[in-house]
Chains A and B, each alone.
Chain A
Amino acid sequence: MKKIVKYVITDILRNKIVLVYTLFLLAASFSVFSLEDNSSKGLLSLLNIILIVVPLVSIIFATIYVYNSAEFIELLVSQPLKRKTIWLSLFTGLATSLSIAFFIGAGIPVLIYQANMVGLTMILTGVLLSIIFVAIAMLATVKTRDKAKGIGAAIMLWLYFSLLFDGFVLFLLFQFADYPMEKPMIAVSAFNPIDLSRILILLQLDVSAMMGYTGAVFKDFFGTYIGIAFSFSALFLWIALPVWYATRKFNTKDL
């Protein structure tokens, strides 16, 4: 397993797209921090980048990479290797290299300008989002044979998590306006890793305290150790479940 991970990582890290992604993040983070007059405002701007760009790049890059590696995977499958090993190595390789790219691109500037709990939460959730969307991408690729369809599915998934899901939440809120929805909202947020990450970071930024009753309810939950434990377990489940299911599918997939 280690060997294949090593080869996948070296292959990806040589890829120009990952390099461009890293440089883009670097440029964006440094410019955000140097343009804004205070660095916590910079963090807020960076938040948008993390919540939109990181999932997008992770899911698209991972999808394309897996499709492009189809022959390589075939080659490996014809070797005396367990399929599970190959698939998990591919996942580990992709997740590691995208996390590294994120860490260098956004993590280091954040550490330079905002080495506090907010910054650390941001880096952690950014890394987790990278991994989660690689996992989701792997699920998308294993479910669809066709490359174009697969990439389409990846884009749709990204759109779903970053936009449609929230639209659905909004719709739900309108429909159940007469009920106290604060607590159900907490549960609903667990179904979207992007929402969960956003809330985790915003609570660290302390803007929530300004948001009246609702903010207080969220803070009471997500601000406690139980809430943080819940959020991170939910995020880890978002990695584990897609990977587990994709691996199961890959085990019996025809290549």
Chain B
Amino acid sequence: MKLYLLILFVVVCAPASSKTIKAGANEKYTTIASAINAAVTGDTVLVAAGNYKEHNLVIRTTIVLKGINYPVLNGEKKYELISIKADGVVVDGFKIIHSGVSSLEDISGIKVYDSRNIAIRNNILEDTFFGIYIQNGFNCSIENNQLTANNKEEQQSANGIHCWKCDSMRIINNKVTGHRDGIYFEFVKNSIIWRNVSTNNMRYGLHFMFSNDDTYVSNVFANNGSGVSVMFSNRIKMFSNYFEENWGDASHGILLKEISDGYMQGNHFNRNTSAIFMEGANRIYMTYNSFENNGWALKIQASCVDVVLEKNNFTGNTFDVGTNGSLVLNKFNNNYWDKYEGYDLNKDKIGDVPYRPVSMYSMIVEKYPPAMILFRSFITSLLDKTEKILPSLTPENLKDTAPLMKKAF
């Protein structure tokens, strides 16, 4: 059925001259390379199932390269498998394994060189160095791919989906595990990352630098070495993503560094060492996010300005907010804090006394990490209680003036 649809699509959309070329052990073209060479712009190369060891396939014309039942392209740990050097190429339905490893040449499973309108979909990539690498692409879509690597060391591994200097990308419904960074963006703008699952990667689930005007929606980032890192970017929007189980030294649900004009809504942060670590962030608006069972829900350095948190839920976190200075230029309003002990006399569901989410002990731990050994001891809870009554060390202005009595959502 799919095949018919595809043929229909090709028939409808392709120029009248387009044809289908078959490659496979029992076909006229026994190698994929020869079939690609025979194809002209607009042709479709259909590859039968089987094992192919064809070193490097270079596509220089606008064709559709389609595998039937996942033909296996084996790079024998030496070669890059598919290199795309033409616009409008589609690569669909391959199983790509054992690429070469070279940090010098950035060897990938599928690499796109300076091209537009590329679609890479429904592929399975295993044990590749870079998985899918787009260099200087425009309007490309990477969809429904599965990328798995089993790397043990960061130096020996590379990123799953790597985009460099791109515009208008669509990264949709991919699964990436075991790479260095699951998804990597550098100088990528106007793009969307949607419904991807990036787990168990060595460094970041998502690594994001110098990339403006991007949106990511409904992704899952779990169990990555250091969570998600978003740095030096403007106008980023994040909706309904899950950041989970990012544990360990210097590990965050999400690291926001030098970010401006961000918007975060409906994200879930669950069981991270620190759910959000913010440094030099400006004008970030966060609402309807939920922070559950994290070590720190929010570490907000004094370098952050005009960060606004409204109507978020904070439950079961060891520390709600940690900070390193006394200057506070950020705003907390109408959030729900499960540690809030205030009251609501006029029954407007808003607490009558402000909530101070920075505890004395969290300040101490911030400064003297070994003080963690006193976690949950009598003295620290006593310190916190006294500090609540007579604030001296904790920043005076860091408070939620209108905390909610019930969860915000």
Residues of A within 8 A of B (CB): 41, 44, 47-48, 51-52, 162-163, 166-167, 169-170, 173-174, 177, 181-182, 185-186, 189, 194-195, 198-199, 202, 207, 209-216, 218
From A163, A166, A185, A211, contact of B295 by CB (8 A): A211
From A163, A199, A216, contact of B248 by CB (8 A): A216
From B249, B318, B367, contact of A207 by CB (8 A): B318
Instruction: Report B-chain residues with C-beta under 8 Å of the C-beta of A170.
Output: 364, 371, 374, 379
B343: interface (CB < 8 Å):
no
For B249, B271, B272, B367, the residue with the greatest tally of chain A CB atoms inside 10 Å of its CB is B249
Closest-CB distance, B251 to chain A (whole angstroms) = 8
Residues of B within 8 A of A (CB): 247-251, 271-274, 294-295, 316, 318, 364, 367-382
From B247, B364, B376, contact of A209 by CB (8 A): B247
Question: Given known contacts A185-B370, A210-B247, A218-B373, is B378 in contact with A51 (CB within 8 Å)?
Answer: yes
11 A-B pairs whose Cβ atoms sit less than 8 Å apart in the complex = A51-B378, A166-B378, A170-B364, A173-B370, A185-B373, A202-B375, A213-B249, A213-B250, A215-B295, A215-B372, A216-B249
Instruction: Report B-chain residues with C-beta under 8 Å of the C-beta of A163.
Output: 378-379, 382
Are the CB atoms of B369 and A212 closer together than 8 Å?
yes
- The complex places the Cα of A52 from the Cα of B380 at a distance, in Å, of 13
Are the CB atoms of B316 and A41 closer together than 8 Å?
yes
Closest-CB distance, A96 to chain B (whole angstroms) = 27
Instruction: Report B-chain residues with C-beta under 8 Å of the C-beta of A44.
Output: 376
From B250, B273, B369, B379, contact of A166 by CB (8 A): B379
A-B Cβ contacts below 8 A, count: 89
Are the CB atoms of B370 and A210 closer together than 8 Å?
no
Instruction: Report A-chain residues with C-beta under 8 Å of the C-beta of B295.
Output: 207, 210-212, 215
Instruction: Report A-chain residues with C-beta under 8 Å of the C-beta of B367.
Output: 177
Instruction: Report A-chain residues with C-beta under 8 Å of the C-beta of B364.
Output: 170
- The complex places the Cα of A159 from the Cα of B250 at a distance, in Å, of 36
Closest-CB distance, B201 to chain A (whole angstroms) = 18
Other A-B pairs beyond A47-B376, A212-B295, A214-B372, 16, CB < 8 Å:
A51-B378, A52-B378, A163-B379, A166-B377, A169-B374, A173-B368, A177-B368, A181-B368, A195-B374, A198-B376, A198-B377, A202-B375, A207-B318, A209-B273, A212-B249, A218-B372
From B271, B274, B371, B377, contact of A195 by CB (8 A): B377
Instruction: Report B-chain residues with C-beta under 8 Å of the C-beta of A47.
Output: 376
Are the CB atoms of A211 and B316 closer together than 8 Å?
no
- The complex places the Cα of A169 from the Cα of B249 at a distance, in Å, of 23
Instruction: Report A-chain residues with C-beta under 8 Å of the C-beta of B318.
Output: 207, 210-211
Instruction: Report B-chain residues with C-beta under 8 Å of the C-beta of A177.
Output: 367-368
- The complex places the Cα of A73 from the Cα of B45 at a distance, in Å, of 99
Closest-CB distance, B225 to chain A (whole angstroms) = 13
- The complex places the Cα of A47 from the Cα of B376 at a distance, in Å, of 9
Instruction: Report B-chain residues with C-beta under 8 Å of the C-beta of A185.
Output: 370, 373
The 3 A-B residue pairs with the shortest CB-CB distance, nearest first, are A210-B295, A166-B379, A214-B372
- The complex places the Cα of A174 from the Cα of B250 at a distance, in Å, of 22
Question: Given known contacts A170-B374, A207-B318, is B247 in contact with A213 (CB within 8 Å)?
Answer: no
Are the CB atoms of A212 and B376 closer together than 8 Å?
no
Question: Given known contacts A166-B378, A207-B318, A212-B248, is B373 in contact with A174 (CB within 8 Å)?
Answer: no
Closest-CB distance, B87 to chain A (whole angstroms) = 47
- The complex places the Cα of A191 from the Cα of B378 at a distance, in Å, of 16
Closest-CB distance, B357 to chain A (whole angstroms) = 17
